[in-house]
Each structure stands twice: as structure tokens, then as C-alpha cells.
Amino acid sequence: MAIALRIALVLITLGCVFLFVSHPLWFPAGVSAQARPLDHDFYVAFWVLGALFIAGQLVLVWVLAKRSTNQRSTRNWYGNGRLEIGWTVIIATIFLWFHLSGGQLWSRMMSPVKEAGQLHIEVTGAQFQWYFRYPGPDGVFGRTEPVKFAKPEEGNPLGIDPADPAGRDDIVSTTMVLPVGRLVQLHLRAQDVVHSLFIPAMRFKQDTVPGMEIHSHLMPTQVGTFEIACAELCGLGHYRMRALVRVVSEAEFEKWLNAQISAPGQP
Amino acid sequence: MPITSDRVEIERKPKLGGGGPGKIPHRRGFGGGDDGDHGGPEDFRSRRQRMRRYRLVMGLCLFSVTVVFVVLTFLYVLRLGTGRYDEDTRRQIQDWIPLKLPYLQLWTNSLVLLLSSFTLELARRSLARKEEFADMGIVPPRMKRDLPWLVTTVALGFLFLAGQVLVWQNLQHQGVFQATNPSRNYFYLLTGTHAVHLAGGLLALLYAAGGRLLALRFESQKIAVEVTGWYWHYLAFLWFCIFALVHFAKG
Amino acid sequence: MQKASPIPTAPHTQGFLRRYIFTTDHKMIGRQYFFLSLAAVLVGAWLSLLMRIHIVWPKAALPFLGEIKPENYLAYLTMHGTLMVFFVLSMVPQNGFGTFFLPLQLGASEMAFPRLNMLGFSTALLSFFVLLAAFFAPGGPSGAGWTQYPPLSAIAAAGPGQALGTDLWLVSIGLFCLASIMSAINFVTTTLKRRAPGMTLMRMPLTCWAWFVTAVLILLAFGVLVAAVIMLMLDRHAGTSFFVPGGLLVSGKAVEHSGGSPLLWQHLFWFFGHPEVYIAILPAMGVTSHLLSTFARKPVFGYKAMVGATLAIGGLGFMVWGHHMFASGMDPHAGFAFSSLTTAIAVPSAVKTFNWVGTLYGGRIRYTTPLLFSVGFVSLFITGGLTGPLLAQPALDVYLHDTYFVVAHFHLIMAMAGLFAVFAATYFWFPKMFGRMLNERLGRLHFWLTLFGAYATFMPMHLLGIAGHPRRYSELTGVQYVTAMLPLQRFITLAAIVTLAAQLIFLINLFWSLRKGAAAEANPWRCTSLEWTLPSPAPKDGLTERNPFVSHGPYEYLPGAESDEDFVMQDAPAS
């Protein structure tokens, strides 16, 4: 039994290592400015914790193998203060370093950035659909009042106030179209319940909370089409609350924007 | 079979102590370390032990109640401070409409509650005086004239609750012409939670006051009054905290 | 002159009802909790099986049930979480084994308040039935997950189970909180006031320490959850707006609320919810310490450090709730503070792990089923615990939050580790509870299948999470990159089916041994704590007649002894 248990633990450790080394699934390729530092942080964490995992399991195997003899010293029978303090300090140091190194990335990710020519997009989650609103040529979002004006069948799902001149040129799309290499300021809102905008390829996730407008930013670095999923349980259609991000060149983006202004509603 | 061989004695002094052999065994009759019970059922039932147990429970309850009220106060202040997001201006706005508190009613209620705390203390003292005679099964004639403080306390408790209901009604009428106002919600939440707790105390007091009908032992009656007393005074104190909160942090 | 009141244990000659149903005997109540949890875990496990099948074969028609629909999936998900967290993981280690063994291990004749104990169980039972009643409500049970985030949980129009189903959920959880508070008051009072003479705090077995600290956590955390549940109820039915903001449009209808904040619920819920994690795992840790020492025939390594770590985990547990909300729009500075405290809590957890390893080191280990499960606990605790510091980093957590990575993390460290400790405790204490031994051979088979099954089921989920698979998806058809993960999800479902099937071995063992198992002697494991001074099963009067006098620490195993008599009972006379 003793040997079987040790073999089992070794097998499990090897199995887990194999699983992560062969990794049938892994991160999608990172296509935003924060993907690279985040992936780097993840790999640091992955190697440190992976090493601790292997060490932990193997130490467990080792102590199970350690047989006692009759004339054992009983010095550490009830414990050992020095050892106790030693490993507490060591593990606290590792975790402290780990925490501080991770904290830097967090503060960089969350501190607001501004840039000339940045793009503003308002993201609204509604049950099982994402809407992306661009302010149009005037650069100002129109006033919304979903309870009064929202009529998805008439092309006004967000309830933009028809009386507000700033809202007349707003573009509402169900696809998020972004110019590559330009900073995007996101204004995240929700119409009914809590949703969460999750773009795995851009390593981006932020809840959208009704009654709040949350600000965040994003910088796409690669042209292509990527998927958006909802990451906060929002009801029956949570699993199919999907949208696309289309990252295009600057010229193509301008073309798309102009087409939208003349013929709204075409993605 | 357990054994106690000499081998136990080796290495008796562990570096980190505990879990090991521990200290010199205590003399029989003096509980485990601090407050272990004295083992036998007689001791367990002894008046002092019972009182101490119920006091501890009341302490724990007050602990729990405190956490709840601290959290509610935290919510109140948080909500008062942040306001809500406004669609038109696209920023947080202050939608907290200060209540016009019916101070006369509130002060009357406070007075009633304070008075009830006072009469409960008198009830407790009266019971304490009777205690030594209770074992003999007699009540000295001069103590028969003690006023029914317990019943008075219960009556005052009901009066307070009725007064609170009047306050809520008053605020209800006040709010007819305005949309749901967070300040009123939170006022209801705080005072309502307090009233529910007080009603619990009232039940305990009713139980003690109806002692004779329920064939309650004198000792149990006394414990009920004593322990509920702590609770009652604490709720009176909490009431003044809530009053101060809604008065000073009005928005 | 008043007559002396009867001893709070009832006399021997009792009817069936007094003996098994309306009993104030802590041992019977402990058994009641045990079987209630067993019922809950059966339902919960069955639901998880249905969910796993639905994820990978959404169109499969099951016998009797037919096809599972997405709304059923969400209902199962909510019920699975609620049953497992409340009625299994926080009930059986604390209320099940604790109610039975806390007084015995402390040398007390009963709980401090036997009738309160009974009331606590009745309330918990009622709460269980109210929860299950939701299956028969129109629209079915709530589909908002066990976290019940408003506005989804506050507005009846937001989903199929959000009307009566959610009301029943809220009532049930409110009742459960009251039941837990009653039982926790009893635990704390019993620990502080009813210890046998000589049983100092530092002579209590670590199980008692764990139950005690857990009871304090319950007192603090559950009161807040009651307040939150009542506020949500008021929002739903009394027109208040604590959690629901204004201007919402749900299913095309305007919602008549204004000025509430959904984040408030998240704060309140997790202020309860994170200590809840420790409410579930601390008793499991206590049991593991106790068992490793018993079967390694060595004292617990660093008893004081263990007690300190238990207290530290309990204390820090109240300051880390925000790490569930890094992606929720909370202030980033608060996020950093919560992250620091969360990382700090990894330190006492690691200290505990080191001490378990230290306890095993050089022991004369007896490879019984309880020991196997305890070693399994340590292994799973290391595995599941190490993803904790990673998730405590807000930047990384934002990516992994609400993905299968988190599912893997908490299932390994809370569900699997917790269940392994429960299994260990069951195999260990079954003789004392029911007078018979569980079958060792079946027990070992159960262990091997469960250990490999647990790893095979939950390790691959980390990869799903890293690849960005959000949790609580009823089907994989909605999002394309998720659809591509079907093969791994199929593998997980197969592993889950095997693991769940292995639990049938446990059930068979349990019910077979209840009637036919080998009769247990008084102290089959040669353990030192006081419950083993009684014959098996523990007689109704418990320790009333014995009046134990404690003169030894809880883990006095003798170094170098080769015989069976290598231990000193806690109540052995001092030499």
C-alpha cells in the first residue's frame, strides 16, 4: 500500500506535468498591447507555482518513504520552532515577491492613459447581445434613455434620444470594428443585468454593470477578426452572447466609418 | 488499553510546546484551564454555571448583531457618499433626498425605550433581592409590594414598536410625491432591522414575565431577565447610534 | 422548593420519535446531519452528472428525463452549487462530525444547549426541503448561480427561474443561516464552557480548534448573509431599491426601481462568501491533522503553529472578499489591497501543509483508508492551493476570472479536498458512530478511483480556463473558439462519470457496513482522544458516567515503540 500510494502520487505529478507541457489548449495569440506583459507575468507565475507543485508532491512522496527506526531521535517529535519560523519566512518571502511583481502590471493596466486621436466606444451589454456605439463625427455620444426610446426593431436598441442632436450621428454596430494601433477608450454599460465583456485574444475582461459606466482602455496590435464572449452569468442565452471584434487598418476603418454614417446598420 | 509508562516522560519539553504533554494536571474540581465545566451534571446545572453559559451566548449574539449593524451602517454611508450614475450628465449624481425626520415622534420613542431599559434594570434588581428567599419558597411581604417592573418593561417595549410603526407611516405619507428615495429605504432597513431584533427581546421578556403561567423556575426566570437585560440595553444603545446616524449623516 | 431538573439527555426508554426524530442527543443529531448531507450530496452529484452530459451532448435524450434544456442547465448549476456549498461542505464537516464529536473530544456529557441543537437541525432540514421545493415551482429553480448576482436575481422577468424559484432559494438560505448560527452558538459555548477538567485549550485536539474557529466565522458571516438575503427579498417584493439601479430594460419591459447598486450585493455576498470557503475547509484541515497524527503514530508537528495558522486563516478570511470582484468595476486600489491580503492568507495555509508533511515525516505510517484519504487531501490541497496565489494577482485574475480555471481551482481545493477529508472522517469515525467498521478493501478501491478521477476531472479544466472558456456555459455551440474545446470537455465528462460511478462503491460500502460490517472495538485505530474511551457505537449517555479527567495532550504517541500500545489516552492518569 505504501509503495502503491507513492507510485500513484508520482504518476499524478507526471500526468499533470505532461498535461501542461503538451497543453492541448493554451492562450490564443495575444493581439493587444497588454497581452505581452500579461503573458509574461503568467509564465513567471506558471513556472514558480509549477515548481512548487512538483516539489510539494515529491516531498509528500518522500516523507511517505521515510521509515522510522527504533532508536530514532525524538528531538523533533512535537515540532521544531526554528524549522517552523524558517519555512514561514521562506514561503512568505516567495509570495511577497510574487505579489509585488504582479501588482506592477495591475497598476499599469488600470491607470488611465490618454493619447491624441484616441477612439471612444461605448459598449452596452443587453440580454444576449453586445452593442458598440461610436460617437460619430461630432465626437459626442447622444443621450440615451432605454426605457423610453429603446426599439431594437427600429434600429435603436440603445434608446438614443431622438431629440438630442449629439445622438443623431451616433453609429451603433453589433460588431466592434477597431483600427489597428490606435488607443481605444471603452465606456462599458449594461442595459439589464450584469454582463462581462471578454476578448480572450486581447486578454481583456471587464464586467458591465447596470447603473454604472466603467471606463477601460484597449490597444489592438494586430489585424484580424476575434471573438467576444460574455463571462458573467446573465441568463438563459449567456452561452451564446457572442460578438466579433474586427481589427482593420486605419484606412479601412475610415472607410467603414463613412459607410456607416451614410448607411447605418451595416457591419 | 491506555498506558502510562515511563517512556512518556522522555522529551517532555517540546520546543513549541502545545499539543504535547502540556502543563501540570489541574486539581479535580477546577475546570479545564479557564472555564471547563466541572464535569458532573450537578455542577452543570448549578445556577452560576447556567448563568455563565447564557451570558456567553448573549455575548456571542451581541457580537453577531454588531457585525450586522456595522455592515448596514457601512452600506448606508457608502450609498450616501456615492450617489448613482446619471444617464444625462454621464456621471455620478447625488440622488439622496434627506428625510424630514419626525423628531418629536423619534424623541418620544427614544424616551420610551430608555425608560424601558430603566424599568428592566429595576425588574432585575427586584428579582435579585428575591433570589435568596426563592429557594425557601416564600416571598417576604415587603417585596410583594414591588411594582411589576417586568410587565411595565414589556408594555414599554410594545409602545416603542408602535411608535416606530407610526414613524414609518409618517414617512410613507411624506414620500407620496417622490420616486423611491434611497434615504428612506435605508432608514427603513436600519430601523426595521432594529425593530425585529427588539421584537425578539420582547418575546424573551414575555417568556420571563409569564414565568408563573409557564411554571418557570425562579432561577430560569432570573437568567432570562438578566441575559435579556444585556440585550435590551444594547439595543437601546444601538437605537441611539442609529438615531445619531440618520440625524448627522443625513446627506 | 423546586425539583432538580433532569439531566439534558433523555431517558433510555423512548419511543421512535423521541429517539430518532425529536432528539436532543448530540450523537443522534450528528447522525441526522450526516444523513441529510448524504442526501444533499447525492442530489448535487446527480445534477453535476446531468450538467456534464448536457455540456458535451446537448441533444442527448436521457432515460426518464429526456433532453436537458439550457434553462434546466442553469437551474442544475444553481442547485448543484447551493447544495454542495451549504448542505454538504459546510454542513457535514462542521455540523455532522462536529455535533457528534465535539462534546466527546472535549470530555463533555452533552452540547451546552441540547434543545437549541435540535432546533438547529430542524431548521436546516426545513431549509433543505424549501430549497428542493424549487424544482416543483413554475419555471423551476433559480438560474442565477449560487452567487445570485442582482439584477438577474432581483427581477422576475430576467429568466425562467427568477420568480418563485429564486424566492424559495432566498428563503431557504435565510433559514440555513439561522440554523448555522444556532449551531455555531452551541459550538462556541460548548468549547468554552463544557470542557472536562484538565482539558485546557491547548490540550484540545486540532479538530476541536477547527470547529471552534469555524463556529466563530459562522457567527460573523452568516448574520451578514441573512441581512443581504432580506434586502434582496425587499427589493423583489417591497419596492425598495438596494441592489437594482434605475432605467433598466429587462425583456423589453421597464423596471420600476431606481438608485440601487448591484455591486453592493457583491460586496455583501462575498463578505459572507469568502469566510464560507474557510467554514468549509477549516474542519477538513482539523480532521486531516488529527488523522495524519493518528496513523503516522506521531504527534502533530508544531501543534501551536497549527493553532496559530487556524486562527490566522480565520481572521484573514474576513479581509479578502474583494478578490472575487477584480473584474467587477471595483476601485483598482481596493483591488491591490485585497490582492495583498489574499496572498498573505497563502502563508498560514502553506504553514499547515508543511506541518502535515512534518507530521508524516519518519512516522510508522499505517496505510488504512482514512490515512489514504488524508494524504489525498494534502496532495489535492497543494495542487488546488497553488493556483490560489496566481488568482490573487488581479492582472492575471482578470483574464482567468469566471473561466474554467477558477472552476478547477475551487473544485480542487474546496470541493475535492473537502470531500477527501469528509471521506477520511467517515472511514475513521464510522465505527464510533455506528458500531461497525467500513470495509477496508472497498474503501481502498474507492480511494484509488476517486483520487485519479478527481485529478483527471479537474486538472484539464485549468487548460480550458487558460484558453478562455467562460464558466456557466450550458452549451459550447454559442461561441466558436469554445466549440473547439469540445474534445477536452468530452474527456472531462468521461472522467467525471467514472469518478461519480466510483462513489457507488462508497454508498454500497456504507449501507452494507451499517448492517453487516465487522463489529468495531472501542478504539480500533489506537487513537488518544476521548471519544475512543467509549465503547462503539458511542452509547447514548456518552461521557456522562465517565467524568473524564484530562492530564495529557491530544497527540501523545510514543517514539520508538513497536507494540500496539504506543500511545497515551488523554484521560490516562498522570504518571
Q: What is the predicted ipTM?
A: 0.94
Residue A162 has what DSSP assignment? Answer: T
- Cα separation of C392 and C41, whole Å? 29
Residues A98-107: tens digit of each pLDDT: 888 888 888 8
For testing the chain C interface, which of A27, A68, A156 should be mutated: the one with the most C CBs within 10 Å?
A68
| Residues of chain C where predicted confidence (pLDDT) is lower than 50 | 1-11
Burial bucket for residue C448 (CB in 10 Å: 0-12, 13-18, 19+) = middle
Residue A188 has what DSSP assignment? Answer: E
pLDDT of residue C31: 95
Residue C303: which of A38, A78, A238 has the nearest Cβ?
A: A78
C201:B44 CB<8 A: no
Residue B87: which of A78, A82, A145 has the nearest Cβ?
A: A145
Rounded percentage of chain B residues whose pLDDT exceeds 90: 31
Does B37 score more than 50 pLDDT? no
Does B14 score more than 50 pLDDT? no
pLDDT of residue A73: 60
Does B22 score more than 50 pLDDT? no
- Cα separation of C95 and C119, whole Å? 13
The bridge status of strand A243-248 relative to strand A175-179 is parallel
- Cα separation of B119 and A224, whole Å? 79
Are the C-beta atoms of C93 and C30 separated by less than 8 Å?
Answer: no
Q: Which residue has the cell 478501491?
A: C445
What is the rounded average pLDDT of the residues A238-243? Answer: 94
Please choose, from the candidates C417, C496, C508, the residue with its C-alpha nearest in 3D space to the C-alpha of residue C453: C496
For testing the chain A interface, which of C72, C77, C288, C365 should be mutated: the one with the most A CBs within 10 Å?
C365
Nearest CA in chain C to B44: C194
pLDDT of residue B44: 47
What is the rounded average pLDDT of the residues B103-124? Answer: 94
pLDDT of residue C253: 87
What is the rounded average pLDDT of the residues B198-208? Answer: 91
Omega within 30 of 0 (cis) for the link into C93: no
According to the per-residue pLDDT averaged within each range, which of B29-38, B219-228, C292-301 is highest? C292-301
- Cα separation of B20 and C304, whole Å? 10
A78:B16 CB<8 A: yes
Beta carbons within 8 Å of A136's beta carbon, 6+ residues apart? A168, A169, A170, A171, A261
pLDDT of residue C566: 86
What is the rounded average pLDDT of the residues A64-88? Answer: 76
How does residue B135 score in pLDDT terms, banded at 50, 70 and 90?
low
Please give the grid coordinates belonging to residue B206. Answer: 414575555
Lowest mean pLDDT among A6-10, B15-19, B182-186: B15-19
A74:B10 CB<8 A: yes
The distance of C291 to chain B (nearest Cα, Å) reads 14
Q: How far is CA C270 from the centre of its chain?
A: 16
Residues A197-237: tens digit of each pLDDT: 999 999 999 999 998 899 999 999 999 999 999 999 999 99
Beta carbons within 8 Å of C539's beta carbon, 6+ residues apart? none
- Cα separation of C75 and C69, whole Å? 10
Residue scoring higher pLDDT (C461 or B188):
C461
What is the rounded average pLDDT of the residues B36-55? Answer: 61
pLDDT of residue B51: 83
Residues C212-253: tens digit of each pLDDT: 999 999 999 999 999 999 999 999 998 888 999 888 899 888
- Chains near C with 3+ CB pairs less than 8 A apart are A, B
Residue B85: which of A79, A80, A211 has the nearest Cβ?
A: A211
- Cα separation of C32 and B231, whole Å? 32
Name all contacts of B143-150 with Cβ < 8 Å and 24+ positions apart.
B147/B122, B149/B119, B149/B120, B149/B122, B149/B123, B150/B120, B150/B123, B150/B205, B150/B208, B150/B209, B150/B225
For testing the chain B interface, which of A71, A73, A78 should be mutated: the one with the most B CBs within 10 Å?
A78
pLDDT of residue B27: 38
Q: Which residues 334-393 of C are in CB contact (within 8 Å) with A?
A: 335-336, 339-340, 343-344, 346-347, 350-351, 353-355, 357-358, 360-365, 367, 372, 375, 378-379, 382-383, 386-387, 389-390, 392-393
Please choose, from the candidates A42, B153, B205, B56, the residue with its C-alpha nearest in 3D space to the C-alpha of residue C216: B56
Describe chain B by its helix, strand, coil percentages, rounded to 5. Answer: 65, 0, 30
Show residues of chain A in contact with C254, CB under 8 Å: 147
A78:B84 CB<8 A: no
A78:B19 CB<8 A: yes
What is the rounded average pLDDT of the residues A41-57? Answer: 94
Please give the grid coordinates belonging to residue B155. Answer: 408594555
Are the C-beta atoms of C128 and C36 separated by less than 8 Å?
Answer: yes
- Cα separation of A253 and C381, whole Å? 51
C351:A27 CB<8 A: no
Residues C464-482: tens digit of each pLDDT: 999 999 999 999 999 999 9
Are the C-beta atoms of B123 and B151 separated by less than 8 Å?
Answer: no
Residue A143: which of B20, B85, B87 has the nearest Cβ?
A: B87
Q: How far lies A231's CA from each of A39, A216, B248, C283, C401, in Å? A: 20, 16, 42, 33, 8
B20 touches chain A (CB under 8 A): yes
Nearest CA in chain A to C332: A110
pTM, whole model, 2 decimals? 0.90
Q: Give the length of chain C.
A: 575
pLDDT of residue B30: 35
Residue A30 has what DSSP assignment? Answer: P
pLDDT of residue B179: 52
Are the C-beta atoms of C314 and C282 separated by less than 8 Å?
Answer: yes
Q: How far lies C23's CA from each of B6, B41, C435, C574, in Å? A: 44, 19, 19, 37
- Cα separation of A256 and C270, whole Å? 44
pLDDT of residue B40: 44
Show residues of chain A in contact with B15, CB under 8 Å: 78-82
Does B38 score more than 70 pLDDT? no
